[in-house]
Amino acid sequence: MTEYLRMINSRYRFGSVPGLANNLNSTKSEFESELKKSEYERLKLSASVSSLETFRLNMSKSKSSEIVAFTAIVKQEMTSQSGQTLVFPHIITNVGGGYNGNTGVFTAPRDGVYVFFCKITGRDNSIDMRFEFILNSSERTHSLVYGRSAIPYRTSSNSIVLQLTHGDRVWIKMYRGGKHFATGAGGDQSFSGYLL
């Protein structure tokens, strides 16, 4: 048996059995240490991936919550009065919930630069109509719907860019009212806006 161990020892250079046990224990300790380091690195990597995934989800939620846009129309003919807030009751889009179809007023849900557009179609060729963009009770711009024409239906549109803070209100006021044309599908009278 001793001869056999010497042969294995010389072939594999293990040295003595106690030396072999020491080598195995040392190798085992090194392996366990490397395994712990590897597990620690895996946990760090997993935490980083989780953190990045959370960041990505928050960014996509943040971007979708930043969108503010609306379009509202009038679907039937009507007559507006001078000084009246024009209400566009049929809401096509209202992302962010800023437009109120009962009052005709857009209330800024967040600070930012907004673009607004209004289109008015008159159906009386004997009087002019005029509409205004109002910001917090103050006229910002106006547009004329020219009425003295042989053509019974005239359209006027206007747009404005406004810097708003949360809670600012924007609406369309008829400075001079009149008869409004509308088709069943609507769109002849429209009010739109969006956050840049």
Q: What's the pLDDT score for residue 97?
A: 96
Q: What's the pLDDT score for residue 17?
A: 62
Please state the three-class secondary structure of 136-152 as a single string: CCEEEEEEEECCCCCCC
Query: Tens of pLDDT along the chain (196 residues)?
Result: 566 656 656 655 555 666 666 666 676 677 677 767 767 666 666 666 676 677 777 666 655 568 999 999 999 888 889 999 999 999 999 999 999 999 999 999 999 999 999 998 888 766 788 899 999 999 998 887 766 666 777 788 899 999 999 999 999 999 988 878 877 777 788 999 999 9
Q: What's the pLDDT score for residue 58?
A: 65
Q: Tokens 């708003």 map to which residue?
A: 164
E-state strands within the chain: 69-74, 78-79, 84-85, 90-95, 99-100, 105-107, 112-122, 129-135, 138-145, 154-164, 169-176, 179-180, 189-195
CATH class of 67-195: mainly beta
Give pTM, 2 decimals: 0.67
Pairing type for strands 154-164 and 78-79 reads: unpaired
The alpha carbon dihedral of 100, 106, 111, 117 has a sign of positive
How many residues in total does the chain contain? 196
Q: Return the amino acid letter for 171.
A: W
Give the H/E segment covering residue 12: helix 2-12
